[in-house]
Amino acid sequence: MNGDTAWAVYETRLRRVSAHIHDHLDEDLDMDRLADIACLSSYHWHRIYRAIYGETLAATVKRLRLHRAAGEIVETNLSVGDIAKRSGYPNVQSFNRIFRSVYGMPPARYRKEGSHRLFDPTSHGKASRMFDVSLRKLPEMHLVGVAHSGSYMQIGKAFEQLFGTLYARGQGNPGMRMIGVYLDDPDIVATDKLRSYACVAADAGLSLAAPLESKEIDGGDYAVLRHKGPYAEMHKAYAWLYGEWLPKSGRRLRETVMFEEYLNNPRDVPPTELLTEINLPLV
C-alpha cells in the first residue's frame, strides 16, 4: 500500500468514526465499539483517538450531548427531564448540576432567557442586551469546506469531517481559521432544508477532492459583531444586529452571504467562553 492509499484509508476511518459518534449520541459509545468501526485495535485506538481529537471519548460525548441539549432547551418544547434522559443523565438533578457548571445557569432559566420571540411586541423589538460591532473592510477570502444540511446547531459534524479529512491528507494545521457559511434563513426555511458549509480559510492552490469543496467570500465592507457565549444563544445577537443596529446604522446590506468566524474551539474552552464573530456584508 503506497502513501496516498494509506492516507485515503485512514481518512475514511476517521470520517466513519466521527460520523458514528454524532449520529449515535443516544447510544452507549465505548472505545471497543469505535475501535471496531475504525478497524483498529482497542489498545491503539484509545491513544489514537485522544491524539487526534485532543480529548477522551467520554469528554467528546459529554460535550456533544450538552451542546445538543442546549439547542433542544431553546428550540423545542421537550421537558428538561426528557432532555436529561436523552443526554444520558440518570436524573434531572444531575443534569441540572452539570448543565449549570458548563452554561452558567440551570436549564429552566436558560430556556426562559433563550426562547424569547425574535421581536417581542412588549418591547417593540428592542433587545435588552447590547453587542460590540466594528466596521471592517475585509479582503476576498478563499475557503475550503464540507457541506452540511439540516439544523445549523449540528454543523459541528461537518467541521469534524473537514478537519479529519484535512489532517488525514496532511493539509491541516492548528492555526487554520474556522468559518461557517450559512445560506438560508432558519426563520423561513424548514430545518431539514437548511444549507451551510463548515470551512477553513485556505490557499487557492490547495488540492481538492470529495468531500471538500471550494468557496469564495467576497471582499468589501462588513459589520462585525463579536459574540461571547454558547452557540445556542447567538440568535439573540442576530436579532439585535438586524433589528437594532442595522436600522440605526444608516448602512444597507450587500447581496452576498454572511459568515461566522470561530475564534476558539469548544474542545478547549467552556461554552460561556466561546468567541464568535458574525460578519454582515454592507454596501
**What is the band of 226 on the pLDDT scale with cuts at 50, 70, 90?**
very high
Distance of alpha carbon 142 from alpha carbon 197, whole angstroms: 13
Which residue type sits at 105? M
Instruction: Identify the residue whose cell numbers are 465499539.
Output: 33
pLDDT at 117 over 50: no
Which residue type sits at 222? Y
User: Higher pLDDT residue, 116 or 210?
Assistant: 210
**What is the band of 118 on the pLDDT scale with cuts at 50, 70, 90?**
very low
**Joined grid coordinates for residue 114:** 433563550
Neighbours of 87 (CB within 10 A): 21
Instruction: Identify the residue whose cell numbers are 453587542.
Output: 131
Enter the DSSP assignment of 276. E
Q: Which residues pair with 278 in a beta bridge?
A: 225, 260
Neighbours of 216 (CB within 10 A): 12
Residue 52 pLDDT: 67
**What is the band of 160 on the pLDDT scale with cuts at 50, 70, 90?**
confident
Distance of alpha carbon 196 from alpha carbon 281, whole angstroms: 17
pLDDT at 37 over 80: yes
Q: Is the alpha carbon torsion for 15, 161, 21, 24 positive or negative?
A: negative
Q: What is the dihedral of CA 13, 19, 22, 28, to 10 degrees?
A: -50
Mean pLDDT, range 175-196, rounded to an integer: 90
- For each of the domains in the chain, give its residue range(s) and CATH number, in order of start: 3-114 (1.10.10.60), 132-282 (3.20.80.10)
Q: What average pLDDT is seen over the chain?
A: 84
Residue 135 pLDDT: 97
**What is the band of 51 on the pLDDT scale with cuts at 50, 70, 90?**
low
Full DSSP string of 173-223: -TTPPEEEEE-S-TTTS-GGG-EEEEEEE--TT----TT-EEEEE--EEEE
Are the CB atoms for 95 and 83 separated by under 8 Å?
yes
Residue 227 pLDDT: 95
Q: What percent of the chain has pLDDT over 90?
A: 36
